[in-house]
């Protein structure tokens, strides 16, 4: 079986490599490697055969491939697939995990048989794509700058998405009521009411919900609801002319300072800057 070696294909000074793959025909067969990867599906769907299992992955899916995974891709029906692949040295992952500290659930990334996978919203996909697309814009001779940007990007994606990524085996182990609750909570009439809506919809106590969300989702009911609120807010910022105060109220928050705090923690920029950057990217054709 083919084993890819980081030193043979990834610049040792940058320790990462960005690649836009426009067709499944441009991928190789079954292989493993001594480095890690993140890939984001931009268009279409694909069969991902990994560690002996066959998964159908759809558009907007983000996957973290470990250095022990054995995988390859197959075209799904008549549909082709386009995705971004970011490969990086094992050392990079070790440094990021050390930086995030003991509070980061690193075992949930490395222990499961199948690689962690998360289905992003359209807005989240565009954010991740925007961050990844900045890498090839940095001149290759500025290696230290590019190296730093890769680490900043990965730290953001790990802390933002990968800590709550769903391993397929873990998802199957979730209680049916919890899966149904999370699906129902994505409706605007529910997430705008806050975590109290989860208690009401589930018929469970708040303390029990907290234990179940921590066990199966790696988060709290409040953070889960706020994530849905912010995703909706991001969509309104990018696709409407609603004022920021109105958006804050629209997602069920009546405290602007709290909204700004949540938004900046998630995106690293203010809602106003997020809207400005998103529209600039849209106008440039990205």
More confident residue, 56 or 84: 84
Residue 217: predicted pLDDT:
82
Q: Is the pLDDT of residue 285 over 70?
A: no
Average pLDDT, rounded, for the chain: 89
Q: Is the pLDDT of residue 278 over 80?
A: no
89 φ/ψ angles, rounded to the nearest 5 degrees = -60, 150
Please list, in sequence order, all residues whose beta carbon lies within 8 angstroms of the beta carbon of residue 175, skipping any fewer than 6 positions away.
212, 216
Which of 85-89, 151-155, 281-285 has the least mean pLDDT?
A: 281-285
Q: Is the pLDDT of residue 279 over 90?
A: no
pLDDT band at 164 (very low <50, low <70, confident <90, very high): low
Residue 173: predicted pLDDT:
65
Q: Is the pLDDT of residue 220 over 90?
A: yes
Return the structure tokens found at 60: 């907007």
Interval 40-50: pLDDT, tens: 999 988 999 99
Question: How far, in Å, CA of 62 to CA of 156, rounded?
Answer: 14
Residue 86: predicted pLDDT:
97
More confident residue, 160 or 36: 36
Tell me whether residue 286 is exposed, middle or buried, using C-beta atoms within 10 angstroms of its C-beta: 0 to 12, 13 to 18, 19 or more: exposed
Interval 246-264: pLDDT, tens: 999 999 999 999 999 999 9
Q: Is the pLDDT of residue 169 over 50?
A: no
pLDDT band at 123 (very low <50, low <70, confident <90, very high): confident
Question: How far, in Å, CA of 242 to CA of 248, rounded?
Answer: 10
Q: Is the pLDDT of residue 87 over 70?
A: yes
More confident residue, 164 or 200: 200
Domains present along the chain, CATH in parentheses: 2-168 (2.60.120.280), 174-283 (1.10.10.60)
Residue 63: beta bridge partners? 39, 117
More confident residue, 192 or 165: 192
Interval 99-108: pLDDT, tens: 999 888 888 8
pLDDT band at 55 (very low <50, low <70, confident <90, very high): confident
Residue 103: predicted pLDDT:
83
Residue 168: predicted pLDDT:
47
Q: Is the pLDDT of residue 286 over 50?
A: no
Residue 174: predicted pLDDT:
76
Question: How far, in Å, CA of 18 to CA of 118, rounded?
Answer: 20
pLDDT band at 167 (very low <50, low <70, confident <90, very high): very low
By residue count, the chain amounts to 286
Maximum alpha-carbon separation in the chain = 58
Q: Is the pLDDT of residue 208 over 50?
A: yes
What's the mean pLDDT in 145-169? 82
């Amino acid at each position: 079986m083919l084993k890819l070696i980081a030193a043979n294909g990834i610049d040792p000074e940058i320790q990462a490599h960005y690649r836009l793959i426009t067709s499944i025909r441009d991928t190789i067969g079954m292989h493993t490697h001594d480095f890690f990867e993140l890939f984001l599906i931009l268009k279409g769907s694909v069969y991902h055969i990994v560690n002996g299992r066959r998964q159908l992955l759809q558009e907007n899916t983000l996957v973290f491939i470990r250095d022990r995974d054995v995988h390859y891709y197959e075209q799904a029906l008549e549909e082709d697939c386009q995705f971004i692949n970011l490969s990086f040295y094992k050392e990079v992952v070790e440094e990021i995990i050390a930086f995030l500290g003991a509070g980061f659930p690193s075992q949930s990334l490395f222990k499961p048989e199948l690689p962690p996978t998360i289905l992003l919203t359209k807005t989240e996909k565009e954010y991740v794509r925007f961050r990844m697309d900045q890498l090839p814009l940095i001149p290759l001779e500025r290696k230290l700058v590019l190296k730093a940007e890769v680490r900043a990007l990965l730290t953001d994606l790990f802390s933002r998405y990968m800590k709550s990524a769903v391993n397929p085996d873990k998802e199957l182990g979730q209680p049916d009521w919890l899966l149904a609750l999370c699906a129902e909570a994505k409706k605007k009439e529910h997430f705008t009411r806050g975590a109290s809506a989860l208690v009401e919809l589930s018929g469970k106590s708040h303390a029990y919900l907290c234990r179940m969300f921590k066990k199966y989702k790696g988060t709290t009911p409040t953070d889960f609801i706020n994530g849905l609120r912010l995703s909706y807010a991001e969509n309104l910022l990018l696709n409407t002319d609603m004022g920021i105060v109105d958006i804050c109220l629209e997602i069920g928050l009546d405290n602007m300072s709290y909204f700004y705090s949540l938004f900046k923690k998630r995106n690293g920029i203010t809602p106003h800057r997020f809207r400005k950057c998103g529209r600039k990217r849209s106008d440039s054709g990205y």
